[in-house]
Structure 1
């Protein structure tokens, strides 16, 4: 685990932890994954209690009954039109109709660790954990498998679609990332090793120019076409497990094992204001469609954090300048 201190957060800021603006309570076990609906008025969460709960943000209460399953539902993804909910689990994945709350497809695929909808909603990419960790594509409408599994030069840990849907980036367990063409399955970028440990999360900027990765040694930004690192890393005080990017591509939210949610300016790489302090390790964060709020897991609850209270830090300490000079 990293022992580096935060390179932009002042000691005064660290003495002023901020709690969540709203807390959603209803799960009976730890929450693992959270996601926003496109309308920005609803969110969904998964838990070790084998349920998916849809929440109404304004009221803070559950919107309808929880979606039940026989297995623990880990990762979750919501279709771009907000009509379907996909959940990964030990035996494969399930796709629910968001209105009727009924299962549309139950897909047997082995253990599904992470999953993502393609930007056009046609495909679901799943990271399979059985034996070799690969990416498998599924037709979101029929539930049928697409092409052969996409293979990378290492075990896949996380995945993200390029915004135009033509490529899929994967973070690997050897500290590298790699991008493959979705149609041909050929590698187009990488593998490029920039981290020292597993790449826990990967996300593209909305314009597709940048690729952001997170690992034990912080958050790094890359030119998505060349694989060249852009600027300096952003650090937590421990492993970074999850990242999200705003719809305008200006800010990044991150969370991890230091129990904080942090917001970063993507251009300056400075932390934006104070950290938000959670009660436990963080596995999932997501920006709201209007960029104002962040949701995250927080033990058995889902927390909503208001970013309007944040202000950009104005300077970097001499200690950090010296740190980067060596």
Structure 2
């Protein structure tokens, strides 16, 4: 099932000249994943330098010693209670105690594109590189397989749990997405192909009604999560492949970033860009909203994490002002 709609036209390149409010320095290679702890006071970043650094957001300083690995890190996920960190490396997934910095358990996956915690913290979902058409579900407490793998028609590139934890969505390398019922393991929506290249990121709206997908085809699309019917028109404006998106907790805004070296904000209802985009140092591989809505964090193929303060963010050289949302994530 697929729909074809006329994309929103985007005229002109809208780039801001402002600098990040804070730049977190500590890694020595690219930073390909960032995630906030639920308290919003700390965040974690994962790098090709084989380390995870936990940061104090306000001071911009490292909180304790980095978590060292024997391979480059591909992704991280933080449990809903903030007590554990799951790191994906080239050969396995390692689960750490965030307080003691000790390994809780690990499981072999042959490398993962990404992993995600379920909203209740029960599951860790992984998209393993070695078995590209499968989603694996692991018991987060024991590190053992929780059920049989969920099998997709195409290679899995990204995954996201629904807010109620009952379903999981997969973005695939053929431009399609698919939704599975976790209890039965059955596909309940899709596969639906709306994009023309890799679906690089998939997220649910806070109420679970909508599913947002981003792609290397430079577009963002919105779908009804239970039917797979596309909602409105695609959002265009990114000048190159989109690598990552995030949605605010009230569902009003989307942040997108990718190979054009910018972070952009979008209004989910109007599908229009909010203000001007702002420049990163290079390809952006990860973007996230802080729990209190104050910061947008980005990282990429460089050795820094940038934090943009939404409370004082005024676009230089234009009259555009970004009004912060009260609640973001």
Fold shared per TM-score above 0.5: yes
Structure 2 equivalent of residue 186 of structure 1:
186
The CA deviation at 1:213 is 0.3
Q: Give 4+ residue runs of structure 1 displaced > 3 Å after superposition.
A: 5-11, 310-314
Match of 1:225 in 2: 226
Separation (CA, whole Å) in 1 of partners of 2:41 and 2:250: 19
- What root-mean-square deviation, in Å, do the aligned CA atoms of Structure 1 and Structure 2 show? 1.8
Moved more, 43-52 or 224-233: 224-233
Structure 1 residue 153: Cα displacement? 1.3
Quote the Cα distance in structure 2 between the aligned partners of 1:167 and 1:279: 36
Question: Cα 1:31–1:6, aligned 2, differ >3 Å: closer, same or farther?
Answer: farther
Decide whether the 8 Å contact of 2:32 with 2:286 is kept in 1. Answer: yes
Give the Cα–Cα distance (whole angstroms) in 2 for the partners of residues 213 and 168 of structure 1.
Answer: 13
Q: 2:87 maps to what in 1?
A: 87
1:323 matched residue in structure 2: none
CA positional deviation for 1:74: 1.1
Q: CA deviation at 1:111?
A: 1.3
Unaligned 5+ runs, structure 2: 1-6, 322-329
Shift of 1:293: 1.4
Check 1:292–1:270 CA distance in 2 against 1; reply closer, same or farther (3 A cut): farther
Higher helix share: 1
TM-score relative to the length of structure 2: 0.90
Report the equivalent of 2:163.
163
Which residue is 1:108 aligned to? 108
Q: Distance in 2 between matches of 1:252 and 1:114?
A: 20
Task: State the Cα distance separating 1:52 from its structure 2 match.
Answer: 0.3
Asked whether the 8 Å contact 2:72–2:90 carries over to 1, the reply is yes
> 1:318 is matched with which residue?
none
Do residues 38 (structure 1) and 42 (structure 2) align?
no
Q: Does 1:264 align with 2:266?
A: yes
Partner of 2:75 in structure 1? 75
- How many Å apart are 1:154 and its aligned residue? 0.9
Residue in structure 2 matched with residue 279 of structure 1 by the alignment = 281
Whether the aligned pair in 2 keeps the contact of 1:88 and 1:94 (CA below 8 Å) is yes
8 Å contact 1:273–1:310 — kept in the other structure? Answer: no
How far did 1:231 drift? Answer: 1.1
Q: How many residues align?
A: 308
Matches of 1:293 and 1:280, distance apart in 2: 19
2:229 and 2:86 map into 1 onto residues whose CA distance is 33
| Closer, same or farther: CA 81–114 of 1 in aligned 2, 3 Å | same
Q: Deviation string for 1:155-204 (max 9, x for gaps)?
A: 11100001000100000111110001111111100111000011000000
Residue 177 of structure 1 pairs with residue 180 of structure 2: no
Q: Aligned partners of 1:39, 1:252: CA distance in 2, in Å?
A: 21
TM superposition shift of 1:6: 9.1
**Contact 2:8/2:234 (CA < 8 Å) preserved in 1?**
no
Q: 1:274, 1:310 within 8 Å by CA — same for their partners in 2? A: no
